[in-house]
Chain A
Amino acid sequence: MFGTITPDMILAILPEISLLVVLAIVFIVDLVLAETRRGILAVITAVGLAATFALTLLYANPGNSAELVWGGMLRHDMLGYVAKLLFIFASFITVLLSVKLENVWLKGEYYLLVLTSTIGMTLMAASADLVMLFLAIETTSIPLYILAGFMTGDNKSTEAGFKYLLFGAMTTAVMLYGFSLLFGFAGSSNLYVMADAISAGAVPGPVLVGTLVLVLLGLGFKVAIVPMHFWAPDVYEGAPTPVTAFLSTASKAAGFMVLVRVMLASFPNILADWQLMLGILAVASMFIGNVVALTQKNIKRLLAYSGIAHAGYALLGVVAASELGVASVVYYLLVYVVTNMAAFGVVLIVARATGSDEVEDFAGLHRRSPMLALVLLLAFLSLAGIPPLGGFIAKVLVFAAAVEAGFVWLAVLGVLASIIGLYYYLIVLKVAYLDQPKSEEALPVVRAHGVAIVASVLLVLILGVIIAPGYEWALSAAASLF
């Protein structure tokens, strides 16, 4: 049905093939090994992900071409390429952070689920067809529902899994309904064929707006923007910390990649409508996320609300709907993923030592482990948008995109919201640097966790100082959509 399979088509799905191979290896090894020796699974998965990253980086680069492959199911373009690398990186860090995690890290299923979810994300980023897109989203989400509730002995984890499943299933169903309307009116499920039909006026305006709302409901859930954000704090709090990190970074980024693609491809006719709609959602996310984060005592909940606010900032780039806008979103996501990975890494290490996720347990972190405190400092200042860290560049880019597109009011509200954000990031840093520690002992750090946070935080610095290479990627990813 695909005609001849060309090498190009293989290269387009090289990351997925490689991930499947890793998955098969993990599956087989898991069957063979005794439970006590299954720590090796983490190593296999991590090495496999690293190899996949290298393969993708070297061979799957589409350059400036963008073509539909596999019968129009996927689009082999720079946006997908950059996104895939990002997800594989996030998955790699997640696996490193999972090492030594009790009740989790010796189970083969855990790694299988992480890998499956990663495959789903890479497909999400490249999907050019509603059917493929839906399958990819489900392939991503279903393993994540299970992962969120993975610690079966822990009520909070179980609650997180259930909550995520219920909200997820409902919003996905609504989104699917939206997809079906789009297909019905436009007569094709391919995003790009559909786009032509819609431009030609195949879908009546009011229907298009209605469909937009339905689709946004589903995607808004994935990226956790207001008002589809209610699940995030509870799920983040309950899920095992590495899973939280994965959810809040890669899963959110995958949602954004789809959002950007679908918005630009399918809804150009009602550009002004969705710009306004998303603009309002962005403002709501930035303010509600940041204001509610002020009151949080639990660091994972705090980062959940901060993540909602960050989704709002990234949304500004989508609203701009320009090349600079999309580039800024991509850059924002690169920075956001590496920054949050570093932040969650520190949260994980502190939680292992103190047994809780409360902000007050960070007291005196600097006296106990100065390097760990430094990583926290860099990660949080990056989230706050302070140079020379990636977060600053990312924020400037999205605000620039908003100003360029004429949304000065959005940029002004955005910068004001970021001041609120600054407040609670500084409060956590104050606790870590100023408050008296309960004990003077240095925190034990598992080597894999150390590698994960150092790698992440170095990337935060690099993205903040050497901007041009990352931006070049982001720009070519954006160019592939126009």
Chain B
Amino acid sequence: MAFPFLSAIVLLPILAGVVLLFLPPKNHKLIYSFALAIALVTFLLSIVVYVGFDVNGPTFQFIEKYDWLPQLGISYHVGVDGIAAPLVLLTGVVIFTGVIISQRIDDRPREFFAFLFLLASGVFGVFVALDLFALFFFYEIAVFPMYLLIAIWGWKQSREYAAMKLTLYLFIGSVIALVGVLAMYFNSGLNTFDFLALQNANFSPQFQKLWFPFVFFGFAVLGGIFPFHNWSPVGHVAAPTAVSMFHAGVLMKLGAFAALRVGIMLMPEGAQFHMWWILLLTLVNVVYGAFIAMTQTDFKYMIGYSSVSHMGLVAMGLATLNHDGLVGASVQMVSHGVMTALFFAVVGMIYDQAHTRQIPELGGMMKIMPFAGIAFIIGGLVSMGMPGFSGFVAEFPIFMGVWADTPWVAIVAAISIAVTAAYILRAVGKVFFGELPAALEGHMHDIKISEKLALGILCVIMIAIGIFPSVVVPMVEHGVEAVLALVGGA
């Protein structure tokens, strides 16, 4: 039997988290080195999965299946398709870079990394789960450590409020989806939670029309869909840097991914029935998110709302239910994940030194931390969807898909591109090329080599996808074809 890569990738972080809790609490160096080593191994494992995925092979690969609760048809069944494999890599990247830049955590780092790894295990678990029960199990594991991570290590002014708001929003979503999943389980009559078996359950159209919104929105809350997006910017802002990276970079993808997996793939008729109005909601996400981002003066809020806008594009791509839209949405998940992780990393680096995130109070960073500045600009170009960067590879197909579906929505959504360009360029101009305020003179210094490494990895991925879309697009198309086969081609 082949080495169980997916189980290793899911279990390694959580086991490392347990080991961490037994390390001596005062030895910060040991704790950090251990966390970094584990994150590196996880990253390497995720690369193995990504590289090992065969685009000519079966839909799901790296499959492992063990009985878990056979009486109820629950199994530990994991495997990745062409949509999940890039997301596994994304998670590996974000956990590695996130740990790198968390060197400055000095309040109880042991618990910080333990909770972060627990979160990572949950995220990996959702991306690879092929059993709805397992998916739920991991989904909730991924959500609750956020509470502690934000409440304990977050920004003092808003952390308690933000952590609670985020947790309650996400749990309401997940339990509503749970009821939907249970309804699917009993309605199918197959006595199984297995995803592949439920694909052939042939739920009646009435059933699908009734339950699709529960499942879709239950999960999409985590994807930041309007009008349930409110938790997201507040949470981003209050979270410590590594957690913001994880939260915006990976966690929000869980919502979109699970909505696709469980909602669209298992109830395709329900999806087709409801998607026209969901498309309109996502339009609000995209445009409204961009405008709100433009009005922000707090750097982190600006990026938080830009995430709402960009995740709206993901949901919009999903809502088209056509080839281009789904491919674009899947690539956008990766592209936005890397980009926003980079944004939050840079903002964190600036805030750590300047102790302010107000854009008007910042300036001249290009001279002080040129590497971070260039990285941010690359991220900005991705955000604007410039050709040659991953954002273009992702957003162009989404707009094509939307155009094919409802042209006027594509036109309205295109406004967001201009607005995004406006707020990104304004922030870049002020923060990096503006004049260094006197208050900051002498306090600031360049970022560390390790931080440059983290930013460098993120930039390389964005440029690689932009110049060689073939590193990811065929894989994603491989996965999307399976989705289309269920949805019926449309």
- Looking at the complex, which of B68-76, B89-97, B370-378, B382-390 is the stretch in contact with chain A? B68-76
Contact with A along B181-194 (1 / 0, CB 8 A): 01101100000000
Number of interface residues of B (CB under 8 A): 36
Q: Which residues of the partner chain B approach A426 to less than 8 Å between Cβ atoms?
A: 147, 164, 167
Residues of B within 8 A of A467 (CB): 68-69, 74
A408 vs B207: C-alpha distance when bound (angstroms): 13
A-contact bits for B168-188, CB 8 A (1 contact / 0 none): 100110011011001101100
Is B141 interfacial (CB-CB < 8 Å)? yes
Q: Which of A373-408 contact B (CB under 8 A)?
A: 374, 381, 386-388, 392, 396, 399-400, 403-404, 408
Tell whether, in the assembled complex, residue B71 and residue A475 are in contact, meaning their CB atoms are under 8 Å apart: yes
Contacting residues, chain A, for B360 (C-beta < 8 A)? none
Inter-subunit contact B144/A415 (CB<8 Å): no
A10 at the binding interface (Cβ < 8 Å): no
Asked if A404 contacts B144 (CB within 8 A), the reply is: no
Q: Which residues of B contact A145 (CB under 8 A)?
A: none
Is the C-beta of B148 less than 8 angstroms from some C-beta in chain A?
Answer: yes
What distance in Å separates the Cβ of B212 from its nearest Cβ neighbour in chain A? 15
A97 vs chain B, min Cβ distance (A): 24
Closest to A429 in B: B148
Given A403-B186, A471-B69, A416 and B144 touching (CB < 8 A)? no
Q: Which of A415, A423, A475 has the most CB of B within 10 A?
A: A415
Are A411 and B182 CB-contacts (below 8 A) given A387-B140, A419-B168? yes
Of all chain A residues, the one with the shortest Cβ separation from B67 is A468
The answer, yes or no, to whether A412 is at the interface (CB within 8 Å) is: yes
Residues of B within 8 A of A392 (CB): 137, 140
Contact B172 A374 (CB under 8 A): no
Contact with A along B321-355 (1 / 0, CB 8 A): 00000000000000000000000000000000000
User: Known: A403-B183, A415-B178. Contact between A430 and B151, CB under 8 A?
Assistant: yes
A433 touches B137 (CB 8 A): no
**In the complex, what distance in Å separates the CA atom of A468 from the CA atom of B66?**
12
Give the distance in Å from the alpha carbon of A416 to the alpha carbon of B178 in the complex: 11
The smallest C-beta distance from B172 to any residue of chain A, in angstroms, reads 5
State whether the Cβ of B25 lies closer than 8 Å to any Cβ in chain A: yes
B175 interface neighbour in A388, A415, A429, A475, Cβ under 8 Å: A415
A395 CB, min distance to chain B CBs, angstroms:
9
Identify the closest chain B residue to A427 (Cβ). Answer: B164
Q: Which of A426-480 contact B (CB under 8 A)?
A: 426, 429-430, 433-434, 467-468, 471-472, 475
CA distance A434 to B70 in the complex (A): 41
Residue with the greatest number of chain A CB neighbours at <10 A, chosen from B138, B160, B175: B175
| Interface 1/0 per residue, B57-72 and A, CB below 8 Å | 0000000000111111
Identity of the chain A residue whose Cβ is nearest the Cβ of B118 in the assembled complex: A388
Q: In the complex where A386-B140, A472-B71, A475-B71 touch, is A408 in contact with B183 (Cβ < 8 A)?
A: yes
Contact check: which of B72, B137, B152 meets A388 at CB < 8 Å? B137
A374–B21 CB distance below 8 A: yes
B contact residues around A468 at 8 Å (CB): 67-71
Query: Is A190 positioned at the interface, with any CB of B under 8 Å from its CB?
Result: no
| Contact residues in B for A415 (Cβ distance below 8 Å) | 175-176, 178-179
Interface centre among A374, A381, A412, A430 (most CB of B within 10 A): A430
B175 touches A387 (CB 8 A): no
With a cutoff of 8 Å between Cβ atoms, the chain B residues found around residue A419 in the complex are 168, 171-172, 175
CB contacts (< 8 Å) of A386 on chain B: these are 140-141, 144
Q: Is A158 an interface residue (CB 8 A)?
A: no
Per the bound structure, the CA–CA distance linking A361 and B269 in Å amounts to: 54
Which residue among B67, B164, B178 has the maximum number of chain A CB atoms within 10 Å of its CB? B178
Flag whether A20 is at the interface (Cβ < 8 A): no
Decide: A399 and B69 in contact? CB cutoff 8 A. no
A418 within 8 A of B: yes
Q: For A280, what are the chain B residues with a Cβ–Cβ distance below 8 Å?
A: none
CA A386 to CA B146, docked complex, whole Å? 13
Given A387-B140, A415-B175, decide whether A400 and B69 contact each other with a Cβ distance below 8 A: no
Docked complex Cα distance between A429 and B172 (Å): 19
Asked if A39 is at the interface (CB within 8 A of a chain B CB), the reply is no
Given A423-B168, A433-B152: A403 touches B179 (CB 8 Å cut-off): yes
Identity of the chain B residue whose Cβ is nearest the Cβ of A464 in the assembled complex: B137
Interface residues of B in 35-60 (CB under 8 A from A): none
**Does A72 reach chain B (CB closer than 8 Å)?**
no
Report whether A422 and B25 are in contact in the complex, using a CB–CB cutoff of 8 Å.
Answer: no
Q: Does A370 contact B (CB under 8 A)?
A: yes
Q: A399 contacts B71, CB within 8 Å?
A: no
Partner of A416, one of B21, B25, B68, B175: B175
Bound Cα distance A412, B180 (Å)? 10
**Nearest opposing residue in chain B for A400, CB measure:** B182
Instruction: Give A474's nearest chain B residue, CB to CB.
Output: B71
Chain A residues positioned under 8 Å from B151 (CB to CB) = 430, 433-434
A40 to chain B, nearest CB (A): 34
Distance, CA A404 to CA B171, complexed state (A): 22
Q: How far is the CA of A399 from the CA of B182 in the complex (A)?
A: 8
Contact with B along A339-368 (1 / 0, CB 8 A): 000000000000000000000000000100
Which residues of the other chain, A, contact B136 by a CB distance below 8 angstroms?
387, 396
**Complex alpha-carbon distance, A423 and B70, angstroms:** 33
Chain A residues within an 8 Å CB radius of B147: 426, 429
Report the Cα distance A408→B186, complex, angstroms.
Answer: 11
* Listed residue (A396, A408, A429, A475) with the most chain B CB atoms within 10 angstroms of its CB: A396
Beta-carbon contacts under 8 Å, B139-171 to A: 140-141, 144, 147-148, 151-152, 160, 164, 167-168, 171
List of B residues within 8 angstroms of A399 by Cβ: 178-179, 182
**Separation of A308 and B179 alpha carbons in the complex (Å):** 23
User: Is A387 a contact partner of B182 (Cβ separation < 8 A)?
Assistant: no
User: Is the beta-carbon distance between B137 and A416 smaller than 8 angstroms?
Assistant: no
Whether A387 lies near B137 (C-beta < 8 A) is yes
**Residue of A at shortest CB range from B186?**
A404
- Across the interface, A403 reaches (CB within 8 A) one of B69, B141, B172, B182, namely B182
Residues on A with C-beta less than 8 A from B138 are 387
In whole angstroms, how far apart are the Cα atoms of A434 and B185 in the complex? 40
Measured CB to CB, the closest approach of chain B to A480, in angstroms, equals: 15
| A contact residues around B69 at 8 Å (CB) | 467-468, 471
Asked whether A422 lies within 8 Å of B168 as measured between CB atoms, the reply is: yes
Residues of A within 8 A of B148 (CB): 429, 433
- A472 contact set on B, CB distance < 8 A: 71
List of B residues within 8 angstroms of A418 by Cβ: 175
The CA-CA distance from A348 to B164 in the complex, in Å, is 27
Tell whether, in the assembled complex, residue B171 and residue A422 are in contact, meaning their CB atoms are under 8 Å apart. Answer: yes
> What is the bound-complex CA distance between A434 and B183, given in angstroms?
39
Q: Judging by beta carbons under 8 Å apart, are B185 and A400 in contact?
A: yes
CB distance from B64 to the nearest CB of A (A): 17
When distances are taken between beta carbons in the complex, the residues of chain A under 8 Å from B25 are: 370
In Å, the complex CA distance between A415 and B144 comes to 16
Chain B residues whose C-beta falls within 8 Å of the C-beta of A408 in the assembled complex:
179, 183
Kindly list chain B residues whose C-beta atoms are within 8 Å of the C-beta of A387.
136-138, 140-141
Most buried by A among B74, B108, B148, B151: B148
How far is A396 from B185 in the complex, measured between Cα atoms in Å?
Answer: 12
- Contacting residues, chain A, for B108 (C-beta < 8 A): 366
- For the complex, give the distance between the alpha carbons of A314 and B138 in Å: 24
Please determine whether A396 and B144 come into contact, CB atoms closer than 8 angstroms: no
CA distance A408 to B160 in the complex (A): 34
Q: Which residues of A contact B72 (CB under 8 A)?
A: 400, 471
CB-based nearest B residue for A374: B21
| Residues in A neighbouring B160, C-beta threshold 8 A | 430, 434
Closest to B69 in A: A467
Q: Which 6 A-B pairs have the closest CB atoms?
A: A415-B175, A403-B182, A387-B137, A467-B69, A404-B186, A386-B144
Question: Can you name 5 extra interface pairs (CB under 8 A) apart from A374-B21, A430-B160?
Answer: A396-B136, A396-B178, A415-B176, A422-B167, A429-B147
Residue contacts A-B, CB under 8 angstroms, 18 given: A366-B108, A370-B25, A386-B140, A387-B136, A396-B178, A399-B178, A399-B179, A400-B72, A400-B182, A403-B183, A403-B186, A408-B183, A412-B179, A418-B175, A422-B167, A422-B168, A422-B171, A429-B147
